[in-house]
A and B are shown apart, each in its own frame.
Chain A
Amino acid sequence: MSGYLTGVLVVLAFNVMAAYAVYLPLAAGQLNLGIAGFMAIGAYAAAYLTNELGWSMWAAVPMGSAAAGLVGILIGIPVLRTHGIYLALATFALGQVIAAVFLNLDVVGAAAGYPVTDYAAPGVVFACAIGVVLLMALISRTRFALYLTAVKSDATVADLMGISVRGIQVAAFALGAALAGFGGAMYAHHYSFIEAQHFNVLLSVFTVLYVLFGGVQTVWGPLVGAAFFTLVPELLRASDQWRYALFALFIIIFMALRPQGLVTASLFRLFRRRSKGASA
């Protein structure tokens, strides 16, 4: 594999992990605009363990993920009292606060950035991304995934059916945070350097954009969205600004024409019926 191709695929792998971190809470109706903040927590926590405590990457990365998940639980409990736009804005504010905290935190280099001593090879990154996709595909086959949609479409009825709406919401939020933290921790160990400025609002916003572009009705939407966002501009060899401008234009037009996203549940049913019809 050429260095160029590897580089692109590594970016894809990180985008896929981020996409599922946005997707999980979104499936329960929570628009998390602060996902970059949780990536930062995972990245900095894992890097700190590797650098200062001499942990191996294999222990530090899961701990970084767990730290982000824990913050997700602690923050999710009060923040999830809000809904809809309020929740989106609360997560947005949260992302800003977290990034600003790391920007001021001297133990991890503050504004100068933080080099990381251990290194995760591209193969490890790929394996992690594939693992995340498989795990998500498995989760999407459970009652948990069903309840995410149930809570999103009618929380009152879900509650009357005996489902712990708060429990599902906090779990979705915290799992999304843990996944973001995992991606962030891997990011830190692959690029061997992190700076707080990287984990900004636009990182969160772009992730949300391509997840919605892919569609949130099925578990494959985020994968398709991340792949499209990463690979198509690469194929066009567009400059960075044109890449973002074109992608934004594309999103706007696409959302106007097909607000439910690229990959939808009914599309899947259609395929399934076709293949059943063909085999019969």
Chain B
Amino acid sequence: MSAPAPTATPAAAPALAISGLQKSFAGVRAIRDLSFSVPKGRATALIGPNGAGKTTVFNLVSGVYGVDSGSIHVNGVDVTHLPSRRRIRTGVARSFQNIRLMSHLSVLENLLVGQHVRASSLAALLTPYRLIPNHRWKREARAALAESGLEQYAEETVGALPYGVRKRIDLVRATLAGASVLMLDEPAAGLNPSETNALRDHLKALIARGLTLLVVEHDMHFVDSICENVVVLNFGEKIAEGPLSVVWRDPKVREAYIGTDEEA
């Protein structure tokens, strides 16, 4: 796959830098003065109880909503006021908590949509690629599928596939944009143990390739096996940050999770 290999020098700008972020929905403050950064070439987890605001952070970074205040930088580029459509070109792509694949399209076609930023010229738009056997785009998409062991589903219509398969295809689509930063929203949710293992291997391969990951996940064993650092949100606020083993002993974090679904 042709993701631009980012040079992960520690001194370089962080892959994702969020500072002073605020967002309210109809008076409800979903994100409150949130700042954190995601170092390049590593996996960082964003955790917190349900409703803490994790998905909202992804929505703000990808531009589904505008921010109320604060700033967002991707690879050193200020994207705070960039139209959502342009943000993926700055190198950040995402998956969706409630899988957002196009259910009438085939798996391969969904992946081709994911490739758009790398094939967006007028000529690419009008190439009758479906008439060309084994066209480069189809080859790439199949290769990415094969990497996750999903190649047998290439021609299937997405709507008919089981949940775990769709969840992983949603992730594969995010990887195809050639982005250097991937935001994954609960990628292991709803997967069975063997699928979870396959996912873990896949994510490790992505990190080894130099990609930066920001992962929202409830399964703490999974988080522990992938991420070096975690950021903990509660009620839209950052309540802790650091290695999982340290953060997990923090009384504030314990308190935030008490009475909610403590899955660790």
Contacts and interface: CB of A to CB of B under 8 A. Distances in A.
B219 interface: no
17 contacts: A141-B130, A142-B128, A142-B129, A143-B124, A143-B125, A143-B129, A149-B104, A154-B102, A156-B64, A157-B100, A157-B102, A160-B94, A161-B116, A161-B177, A162-B86, A162-B116, A265-B104
Interface stretch (B105-113, B145-153, B203-211): B105-113
| Max count, chain B CB within 10 A of own CB: residue among A140, A156, A165 | A156
Interface of B: 62-64, 84-89, 94, 96, 100, 102-105, 109, 112-114, 116-117, 119-120, 124-131, 155, 157, 177
A163 B116 contact: yes
A164 B96 CA distance: 20
A269 B124 CA distance: 25
Contacts of A141: 128-131
Interface of A: 138-144, 146-147, 149-150, 153-154, 156-165, 217, 265-266, 269
Given A159-B84, A160-B64, 4 more contacts: A142-B125, A143-B119, A146-B113, A154-B100
Contacts of B94: 160
B94 to A, nearest CB: 7
Contacts of B63: 160
A124 B117 CA distance: 41
Contacts of A163: 85, 113, 116
B128 A153 contact: no
| Max count, chain A CB within 10 A of own CB: residue among B128, B155, B157 | B128
A163 B116 CA distance: 7
A163 B129 CA distance: 18
Given A156-B64, A160-B63, A161-B116, A149 B127 contact: no
B131 A162 contact: no
Contacts of B87: 160
B184 to A, nearest CB: 14
A169 B127 CA distance: 19
Contact of B84 (A160, A265, A269): A160
Contacts of A160: 62-64, 84-85, 87-88, 94
Contacts of A265: 104, 157
A273 to B, nearest CB: 9
B126 A144 contact: yes
B53 to A, nearest CB: 19
A150 B64 CA distance: 17
B242 to A, nearest CB: 30
A139 to B, nearest CB: 8
A93 B89 CA distance: 39
A150 B105 contact: yes
Contacts of B114: 161
A163 B117 CA distance: 8
Contacts of A140: 130
A138 B129 CA distance: 10
Contacts of B155: 269
Given A156-B64, A159-B84, A269-B155, A144 B125 contact: yes
Contacts of B85: 159-160, 162-165
Contacts of A146: 105, 109, 112-113
Nearest to B160: A266
Contacts of B127: 142-143
A266 B88 CA distance: 32
B252 to A, nearest CB: 33
Contact of B104 (A139, A156, A217): A217
A157 B98 CA distance: 12
Contacts of B104: 149, 153, 217, 265
